[in-house]
Amino acid sequence: MSAELTPEQLAELREALQRRFDELWAEIREEAAARREETFSRLASEAPDIEDQSVADQLVDLELTTIDRQVEEVREIQAAWFRMKEGIYGECIDCHAPIGYERLKAFPTAQRCLTCQDIYEKTHAEPPHPSL
């Protein structure tokens, strides 16, 4: 269950996710307008449903590297959204401890508690690019 989170806190975080989702689509739409890319424009012409997981995949298929960050975030938001639906939102995916409301408020898409995030970042850090 969503340990430690009250229904009010959950509702607030749920709203934050939806808001960020809409914001991202606004950004993606701007990008589409700037590019005048037909497929892309059509795809991004209206905000999709937060539960439509195919949209991020479709954007990735277009290989538009400039929106990689947004697409990545759309995925994270959708993942958080579905964790919420399953009632496991707010629980660390590694140690299953509650992530905590304060951290979720700052990062509604957080999947790990601070301790596990720290470990994760240390073990999955990108190797520094060699400078020749």
Q: What are the residues whose beta carbons fall under 8 Å from the beta carbon of 38, sequence distance 6 or more?
A: none
Residue from 94, 98, 103, 107 binding Zn ion (CB under 5 A): 94
SS3 98: strand
Minimum Å gap between C-beta 114 and Zn ion is 8
Q: Does 88 bind Zn ion (CB under 5 A)?
A: no
Residue recorded with tokens 């993942």: 79
CB under 5 A: which stretch of 40-48, 100-108, 111-119, 123-131 binds Zn ion?
Answer: 111-119
Minimum Å gap between C-beta 119 and Zn ion is 8
CB burial class (10 A; 0-12, 13-18, 19+) of residue 40?
A: buried
Asked if residue 16 lies in contact with residue 104, where contact means CB atoms within 8 angstroms, the answer is no
CB under 5 A: which stretch of 6-14, 51-59, 95-103, 124-132 binds Zn ion?
Answer: 95-103
Q: Does 95 bind Zn ion (CB under 5 A)?
A: yes
Q: Quick one: 4 or 94, whose CB is closer to Zn ion?
A: 94
CB under 5 A: which stretch of 3-11, 36-44, 90-98, 122-130 binds Zn ion?
Answer: 90-98
Q: Does 113 bind Zn ion (CB under 5 A)?
A: yes
Minimum Å gap between C-beta 99 and Zn ion is 8
